Structure 1
Amino acid sequence: MNVNLKSLVQVLHADWIGTDGPVLIEQISIDSRSLQNGPQTLFFALSGVNNDAHTYISELIEKGVRNFVVEYIPEKYHGKANFLLVQSALDALQKFAAHHRNLFNFPVVGLTGSNGKTIVKEWLNFLLSPDYNIIRSPKSYNSQVGVPLSVVAINEKHNLGIFEAGISTVNEMEKLEQIIKPTIGILTNIGTAHDEGFLNLVQKIDEKLLLFKDCPVIIYQKNEIVDSCLSQFAAEYMLHPRKLFSWSYTDPTADVFILKREIKDEVTLIQYQFKKENHDLEIPFSDSASVENAVSCLLTLLYLEYDAETIQNRMQGLYPVEMRLEVKNGIHNCSIIDDSYSSDFQSLKIALDFLESQKKNASKTVILSDIFQSGFSNEELYFKVAQLIADNKVNRVIGIGSTISSFKNKFSNCLTYQNTAGFINDFENLNFANETILIKGARSFQFEEIVFLLEEKTHETILEINLNSISHNLNFFKSKLANNVKIMVMVKAFGYGNGGLEIAKLLEHHKVDYLGVAFADEGISLKNGGIKLPIMVLNPESTSFASIIQYQLEPEIYSLKGLNAFLKIAREKNLKDFPIHIKLDTGMHRLGFEENTIDELIETLKGNSTVRIQSILSHMATSDDMKHYDFAMSQIRLFEKLSSKLMNELSVNPIRHILNTSGISNFPGAQYNMVRLGIGLYGVSNDASEQKYLENVGTLKSIISQVRTIPAGDSVGYGRRFMAVKETKIATIPIGYADGISRLWGNGVGYIRIKNQKASIVGSVCMDMLMVDVSGIDCKEGDSVIIFGESPTVTEIADALKTIPYEILTSISQRVKRVFFR
C-alpha cells in the first residue's frame, strides 16, 4: 500500500488539518499498542462504548505516528500531526477499505453464514492456491472492523480474494458488502449464533443475503426456509443475471445432488450427481459439519470448472483447521505461542502483536517458515518481513525453508535451515531458555514437530483459557461504568485458577488501571513476569512489607497495628509518598478500620509524608443478593460517611471503591472512582439475565485412557460404590481429586461430556482418575472429554455441590496444564 494521505480527504469525506507537504501512507492501524506503528502509519482513532482511541493519540505521537483519522482533535495537539477529521472513524475506515477494493478487478469469494465460514475460507485457500495468488481474511477477521482490515491488504499481485463476513444484528451487512464486493457468494450453515440480534431466523437469513446483492452466483445448501428467502431476494435484487448454485442431500432438483454418504474409517465417501453425471469423492472427515463445509468447497470448484479428478485429488488433502493462537508452557522456562499451521504476511503481523501482548520473557524468538501467497516479490516480501521483525524488537529469528534461507542477510541474529528436519537435527545446540517463542509455519513444514520438542511435557489433562472471552467479559463490565471510572481486576488465587501472569498480560494490554492480588508473593510473581501495572496487595502480612516496598507493590492497610508496622519500615527506608490503600469495615466484619478507630487512624496519618493514601475501599457482603438491599445500602452510606471524613480531615482526594462484580451491576450509583472486577471476568455471574451476555473462559479437558465393558453385578472403583445392574461400558479419565475434582461430584451426581453426550461419573472419584458410564456413546481410547466449560458449567457443578463457582475454579490444581488461546 502506497497512498497519498491528502488524496483520502475526498474518499473519507474528511476535513484536512495538517501540513501542506505530501505524505505517503504505507499501512493503517487501529491498535495503539502495536509496535508496527510508525511515520508511514495512518491511525484510525475508533471510539466505542468501552474505549476511545483518541486518548492514545499523545503516546502515538511520541512513538512517531504523525497521521490520524479522528472524530475530534485532542487539546494541545493541533499542529503536531496530520489529522483527517470525520464524523465516524469506523465509517471512514470502511470507506477507505471500499475505495481500496474498487482499485482491483479479480474474482472475490464472499462467505457468510452462522458456522463454517473460516474453515471453508481456509480450505478454499488450500484447494485453489496452486492456481491463484490469494488474499484472504486472516484468522476470522469478519467483523465491521475485521473486514476492512482484511481487504486493505490486497495488492497488485493478488488475483483471487476470499473474505468472510459476520454480523450480529441488522443493518451491518450492507456496509460489509460495499467493502468485499463478492463475485462468488457462499452461504454456509445457518445456525443459532447471534440469534439474539434478530427477530427470527428469516430476518437473519435476509440480512446475511445482502452480502450477495450484486453477486453473479450464490452457493448454498437447499432447504425450505433458505429457498424461500432466496426467491424473494432474487426478485428484489436483479441487478445482475444471478445463478443460484445449490446442493442437497434430499432434493434431487439441486444442482449438485448427494446420492449417498458412507463413513468408513473416519473418512466420508460420497457420490454426487452434477450435470447428470455421477462422481465419487472422498472427504477425510466423518463429522457432518466438516462434510457440509467440504461440499461448499466442492461447489466452488465445480463453478470454477475444475474437473472431477482434480477435485478428488485436492480434496483428499483437506486438513483440520486450527483457528486460534495458543500460549503454552515450554521447556527451560520458555513460553510458546503456537501458530504452527499458518504462514502468510497478514497473519504474521497479527501473531507478532500477540507475541508482544503475551510475552512472559523479555527475550523474543520467532521460528518462521517460508511465506507463501504474499502478493509481493520475494525480495519485497522478505524486506517487509525483516522490517516487521525489527519493529517488534525480536531478539532471534530462526528461518526454515529454502526461500527464507536465501534472504537470511536481511535479518539480524538469524539462523536458517533448509527444512524442519535440519532444525530438529540441530535442536540440542540451539539453547532455548527464558524466552518467548513464536512458532509460525506453513502446514507443509510440519512445525507441530517443533512445538512438541519445545513444549513442557505434562499429563493429558488441560485447562484451556479463551483470551477472547476474557476480553469480551472485561468489555461487558466496562460498558456498565460511568465515564472516567477506573477498573481494578482481581487476579488473585492464580487468576481464580485460570493462570495469573498470562491473564495479567492481557489485562495490561487492555490498559486496565489496577490489578489486585491477595498476598505479596502473587504480586512479586507478576512483577517478575514483567507486569508494569500498579498492583494492590489485599491481605499483606507484616513480614512481607519489605518485599512489597522492594517490588513497588501497594499494600492494603486495614488495622492500626499494620499501619504502624508499615510506617516503621517505611521510615527506616526513607520513603516518601509511598502509596497505601485504606480498608474500611462497613459491615463485612472481615478486615478493615471500624468507625470507632477512624479518629486514631486520622491522627496517625496527619502530617505524615512517608505514605500517601492512594485509595480508600470497603467490601460489600451482599451485593449479589437483592434480598439484603437495605443492608447493602447501609454499607454504602457508611462508606460515604467514613471515607469523606478521612478525605476532609486529611485534605486528600484518593480513589474510592466499594463495588465488586455483583455490585457493578446491582449498585451502579456507588461506582465512585473505581470498581473491582473479579469472578465476572472469568464468565460467571449469579444473575441469570446477565450470565447470557458473558462468555465461558475456562474449559477443562482430558482424554479417555481406557474403555472396558463389565457384566451386571461387577463394581467400579474404591468401596464398590457403583454396582452395574446390566452390562456397562466404562471409560477411565486421567483426572481426579488431586486435580481439583471434588469427590462429591462422583457416583452418579456429576457427569462429563464425550462427543457432546453426557457420561455419568460412576463410583468414587480417585486421586488421579475417575470413571464414567459410556454405554451408548461411540467413543474410544484417546478421545477428548470435557470436564467443565459450556456444559457442565462451573455454576452447575457448584449448585450441585452446594458451594460457589469460585471454589470450583480455584480448586483446579496447578499440575493441570493451562493452555491460553485467542
Structure 2
Amino acid sequence: MMTIAQLYQHYIKSRLIATDTRNIIPGSIFFALKGEKFNANAFAADAIAAGASLAVVDEDKYARDDRYILVADVLETLQDLARHHRHQLHIPVIGITGTNGKTTTKELLYAVLSQRYETFATKGNLNNHIGVPLSLLAIDERIEVAVIEMGANHQHEIAFLAEIAAPTHGLITNVGKAHLEGFGSFEGVKKAKGELYDYLKANHGVLFLQGDNQHLIEMERQRKVDKVVRYGFSDSNAVIGKLERANPFLQITWHLQQGVSHTVDTKLTGSYNTENILAAVAVGNFLGLADDEINRGINSYTPTNNRSQITKTSANTVIADYYNANASSMAAALANIAFIDAEQKAIILGDMFEMGDESFVEHQKLVEMACTIPAGRIIFVGKAFSEHKRDAAEFYETTDLAIQALRERPIMDSTVLLKASRGMAFEKLMEHL
C-alpha cells in the first residue's frame, strides 16, 4: 500500500486535487469520497478517463490497475495528505472560527494581507473536515500567509481541524447560540470553539482576542494563551476602534494605543461588522503592514454571497443577510437596522434552524425585539415564528405566502432587512422588493 510520503510525491508534480469528475484538470489526483447518498469509487474510472493521473479508492473492485491507489479510507487519506503538506509549509497560518462573522472576517483578512503578501484564504465555505484539507492542498510555494476558516457543529471538530491546519495564529470572532442541536447548549458552543484556544496554547501560537467580549475573555483566562493581541473598543486593547457612522455603510475610526487615529470608509453594513474589521486591523498590524495598507485593504472589500450584502433595487435598499441565521446573528442584525439612519425601514425575518430545545424561546425573543423597532412593515416567515403572533407584525408560515403578501402590498422606498436561515430560500423574496 502506498505511503502518504509516496502519495505526496505524486501530488507535488501537479498540486491538483479533485473530488468531482466534472472538475477534473489533467494531472489531478482524484479522491473517491463517500457520503450518505453517493460513493465516488464508482466514478474513479471516469476520473481517469477525464485526465486524472491517479484515483484514490477504498474498494478493491474499483482498483483496476496501477493508476488506482487502494487505501483503507479515502477521506482519512485526503486528511493525512493535507496534514503532511501543511508541515512542509513554513508560513503563518491564521485559523478562524466563531459563531458569526468568520467568513466576513476571513475575507477582510485576505483583503488586508493581500496588500503586502501573497495570501491564500479558504474559498467559499470550505471549512469542514473535507473543506479544510482541500484548502490546505490548494496552497502552493508562492503563498506567504494563509487564512483558514474552520466551522463546527459538534464537539471535537475544531480540535481535529486545528490538528490538520496547525495554525500559528488564530481568532474566534464570537460565540453565540447556533447549532444547539449538535452542541447541546451555549456552554457546549463555548467549549467547542475554545478548542482553537487549546491548540494555540499547546503550540505557543498567537491569539487575536476581542478584548471586550466577556465570553471570549473568560475562555482565554481558562487557558492562559502565551501570546495575546487584543482588539476592541475600550482603551485596554492594543487596537482600539469606534463605529462613526452606519447609513447603511460603515465608517470606522481606529488607532493603536497612543497612536494616530485613522478613518476608514467601508462597503460593509452591519454595526456588528465593526469588530470583524478591527480583527483585520489587528492581524495586519501584527504581521507588519503599514497603516495605509491596512486601510486600503478594508476599503477595497465588497461583501458577496448574501452576507450583509447591500442591494439597491428599483424600489428599495435591501440588506441581504440570508446565507445563515442563528439567535445571536439575528439579534445583531436587528440592532443594526435600529441603528441605521433611514427614513423608512422594513424588517423581514425567517425561521432559524438547528436551534434544538431553545427554538421556541429564541424565536419569541426575536419577535419581541423586532416589534420594538420603528418600521413600516415587520414580517415574520416560518412555522417557528408563527407560534408567536403579535398584532404589530405580519406572520406567514411559508416564504411563498410572504411573496403573495408582498405582491398585494409592495414595500417601497425603504431600507429592508432580509434575514433567515438558508433553508427558508429568502432569495425568492428579492424580486418582490
Pick the TM interval, shorter chain: 0.5 to 0.7
Q: Shift in Å at residue 310 of structure 1? A: 4.3
TM-score, normalised relative to structure 1: 0.38
Hey, what does 1:233 align to over in structure 2? Answer: 223
CA shift in 2, pair 1:61/1:170, >3 Å: same
Q: Shift in Å at residue 752 of structure 1? A: 7.0
CA shift in 2, pair 1:254/1:782, >3 Å: same
State the number of aligned residues: 363
CA shift in 2, pair 1:729/1:256, >3 Å: closer
Distance in 2, matches of 1:137 and 1:468, equals: 18
CA shift in 2, pair 1:224/1:217, >3 Å: same
- Pick 1 or 2: higher relative contact order, CA cutoff 8 A, min separation 6: 2
Where do residues 321-340 of structure 1 align in structure 2 (5 Å cutoff)?
321-323=303-305
Distance in 2, matches of 1:467 and 1:210, equals: 29
SS state at 1:298 partner:
helix
1:769 corresponds to 2:412:
no
Distance in 2, matches of 1:766 and 1:205, equals: 40
Q: Quick one: which of 4, 19, 29 aligns to 2:18?
A: 29
1:294 corresponds to 2:283:
no
Q: Shift in Å at residue 294 of structure 1? A: 0.4
Hey, what does 2:191 align to over in structure 1? Answer: 203
Query: Which stretches in structure 1 are left out of the alignment for 5+ residues?
Result: 1-5, 15-20, 236-241, 326-340, 342-447, 470-682, 693-727, 734-746, 754-760, 772-779, 795-808
Where do residues 553-568 of structure 1 align in structure 2 (5 Å cutoff)?
none
Q: Shift in Å at residue 102 of structure 1? A: 2.0
Hey, what does 2:233 align to over in structure 1? Answer: 249
CA shift in 2, pair 1:320/1:313, >3 Å: closer
Hey, what does 1:384 align to over in structure 2? Answer: none
Hey, what does 1:548 align to over in structure 2? Answer: none
CA contact (8 A) 1:185 1:215 kept: no
Where do residues 241-390 of structure 1 align in structure 2 (5 Å cutoff)?
242-250=226-234, 252-258=235-241, 260-263=242-245, 265-266=247-248, 268=250, 270-272=252-254, 274-277=256-259, 279-284=261-266, 285=268, 287-315=270-298, 317-323=299-305
CA contact (8 A) 2:240 2:254 kept: yes
TM-score, normalised relative to structure 2: 0.68
CA shift in 2, pair 1:790/1:311, >3 Å: closer
Runs of 4+ in 1 over 6 A off after TM superposition: 457-462, 466-469, 764-767, 791-794
CA contact (8 A) 1:267 1:282 kept: no
Hey, what does 2:3 align to over in structure 1? Answer: 10
Distance in 2, matches of 1:305 and 1:24, equals: 33
CA shift in 2, pair 1:306/1:87, >3 Å: same
Where do residues 22-421 of structure 1 align in structure 2 (5 Å cutoff)?
26-32=15-21, 34-38=22-26, 40-65=27-52, 67-74=54-61, 77-199=62-184, 200=187, 201-212=189-200, 213-214=202-203, 216-222=205-211, 223-234=213-224, 242-250=226-234, 252-258=235-241, 260-263=242-245, 265-266=247-248, 268=250, 270-272=252-254, 274-277=256-259, 279-284=261-266, 285=268, 287-315=270-298, 317-323=299-305
Q: Which amino acid aligns with 1:289?
A: Y
Q: Shift in Å at residue 288 of structure 1? A: 1.9
SS state at 2:261 partner:
strand
Q: CA RMSD in A?
A: 4.7
CA shift in 2, pair 1:225/1:749, >3 Å: closer
Higher Rg? 1
Distance in 2, matches of 1:166 and 1:294, equals: 20
- Percentage identity across aligned positions? 22
Q: Which amino acid aligns with 2:394?
A: Y
Q: List per-residue Cα deviations over 1:774-819 (Å, max 9, x = no partner).
A: xxxxxx9242354x9659979xxxxxxxxxxxxxx9xx99xx8599
Q: Shift in Å at residue 321 of structure 1? A: 1.2
CA shift in 2, pair 1:752/1:59, >3 Å: same
CA shift in 2, pair 1:461/1:186, >3 Å: closer
Distance in 1, matches of 2:119 and 2:161, equals: 19
Q: List per-residue Cα deviations over 1:698-741 (Å, max 9, x = no partner).
A: xxxxxxxxxxxxxxxxxxxxxxxxxxxxxx975699xxxxxxxx
Q: Shift in Å at residue 68 of structure 1? A: 2.2
Distance in 2, matches of 1:100 and 1:22, equals: 9
Which structure carries more helix by proportion?
2
Distance in 2, matches of 1:749 and 1:132, equals: 52
Distance in 1, matches of 2:323 and 2:405, equals: 30
CA shift in 2, pair 1:63/1:190, >3 Å: same
Q: Shift in Å at residue 299 of structure 1? A: 0.7
CA contact (8 A) 1:279 1:308 kept: no
